[in-house]
């Protein structure tokens, strides 16, 4: 009984501090470029614009990754809403780079490194949601490409209106978001910290992909039901 009580207390302490564990975002430091990672809401692009207008990009370059358009918007080649946001804030198109075809945080990180190396840049501010920062930091450390040893990344969190990393457990959306991110972080540790180093990541993905897709579908349904 005593051991069970201790385990419950430890679990509660861990759970209540999970948001703080995931959030390792830093204060901005002037860098060569600013990169706004895809996903999230308008707070990400708003933070990127704030930093850009405050001259945090030494090269005066703002990069967007990912595609925020719906399937219907892609069919008619509509403009990404973030580009509209930039236009409304009088950001010069000549200083914007939009890498539309990255589809994951891994893709965003690899593109950031490749772009910086090919253009001779060594530092970047990455803007994302605060709870996303630990996974981004891990991926910048573990996803290595040629000549990336001199690259540095300053991960800055967007000013979220709907989630506080310290009190996430007070709302359903906060609970679901933080738990979902923690699961993704564990997946990254497993995939890139273990399986890829063993040289078996692609083999494991090939054999477990149907299970992964099924689990992803179930989790989505559970999330929708819980948030009703």
By the 8 A CB rule, do 163 and 71 touch? no
Contacts of residue 10, Cβ cutoff 8 Å, sequence gap at least 6: none
- Tell me what the mean pLDDT of segment 102-107 comes to: 93
Dihedral over Cα of 190, 191, 192, 195: its sign: positive
Residue-wise pLDDT for 114-131, tens only, equals 999 999 999 999 999 999
**Domain count along the chain:** 2
Based on the fold, state whether residues 18 and 37 are members of the same structural domain. Answer: no
For residue 4, pLDDT over 90 is answered with no
Based on the fold, state whether residues 16 and 34 are members of the same structural domain. Answer: no
pLDDT at 126: 98
Using the 3D structure, point to which of 106, 133, 157 is the last residue of a domain.
Answer: 157
φ, ψ dihedrals at 163, nearest 5°: -150, 130
CATH number (domain holding residue 103): 3.40.50.620
Q: What is the CA radius of gyration of the chain?
A: 19
Based on the fold, state whether residues 125 and 221 are members of the same structural domain. Answer: no
Based on the fold, state whether residues 66 and 108 are members of the same structural domain. Answer: yes
CA distance 186 to 192: 10
Based on the fold, state whether residues 71 and 145 are members of the same structural domain. Answer: yes
Using the 3D structure, point to which of 157, 173, 207 is the last residue of a domain.
Answer: 157
Based on the fold, state whether residues 135 and 150 are members of the same structural domain. Answer: yes
Q: How far apart are the first and last CA of the chain?
A: 36
The pTM (predicted TM-score) of the whole model is: 0.92
Based on the fold, state whether residues 82 and 180 are members of the same structural domain. Answer: no
For residue 64, pLDDT over 70 is answered with yes
Q: Which residue has the tokens 């910048």?
A: 140
pLDDT at 78: 66
- Give one DSSP letter per residue of 140-198, joined into a string: HHHS--TT-TT-EEEEEE---SS--TTSGGGSHHHHHHHHHHHHHHHHHIIIIIIIHHH
By the 8 A CB rule, do 67 and 101 touch? yes
Give the pair of three-digit tokens for residue 125: 């501010």
pLDDT at 1: 75
Based on the fold, state whether residues 39 and 107 are members of the same structural domain. Answer: yes
**What percent of the chain shows pLDDT beyond 90?**
72
* Domain, as residue range, for 67: 24-157
Using the 3D structure, point to which of 107, 138, 157 is the last residue of a domain.
Answer: 157
pLDDT bucket at 51, cuts 50 / 70 / 90: very high
Based on the fold, state whether residues 203 and 147 are members of the same structural domain. Answer: no
By the 8 A CB rule, do 192 and 104 touch? no
Based on the fold, state whether residues 40 and 77 are members of the same structural domain. Answer: yes
Based on the fold, state whether residues 31 and 142 are members of the same structural domain. Answer: yes
Based on the fold, state whether residues 141 and 206 are members of the same structural domain. Answer: no
């Amino acid at each position: 009984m005593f051991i069970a009580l201790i385990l419950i207390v430890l679990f509660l302490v861990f759970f209540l501090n999970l948001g703080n564990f995931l959030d390792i975002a830093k204060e901005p430091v002037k860098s060569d470029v600013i990169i706004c990672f895809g996903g999230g809401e308008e707070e990400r692009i708003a933070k990127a614009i704030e930093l850009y207008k405050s001259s945090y990009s030494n090269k005066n370059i703002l990069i967007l990754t990912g595609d925020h358009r719906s399937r219907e918007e892609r069919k008619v080649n509509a403009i990404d809403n973030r580009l509209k946001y930039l236009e409304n804030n009088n950001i010069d198109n000549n200083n914007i780079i939009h890498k539309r075809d990255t589809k994951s945080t891994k893709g965003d990180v690899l593109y950031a490194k490749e772009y910086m190396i090919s253009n001779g840049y060594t530092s970047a501010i990455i803007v994302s949601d605060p709870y996303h920062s630990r996974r981004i930091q891990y991926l910048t450390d573990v996803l290595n490409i040629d000549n990336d040893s001199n690259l540095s990344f300053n991960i800055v969190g967007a000013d979220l209106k709907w989630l506080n990393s310290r009190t996430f457990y007070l709302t359903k959306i906060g609970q679901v978001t933080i738990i979902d991110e923690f699961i993704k972080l564990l997946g990254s540790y497993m995939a890139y910290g273990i399986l890829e180093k063993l040289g078996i990541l692609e083999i494991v993905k090939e054999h477990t992909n149907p299970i992964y897709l099924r689990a992803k579908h179930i989790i989505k349904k559970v999330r929708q039901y819980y948030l009703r």
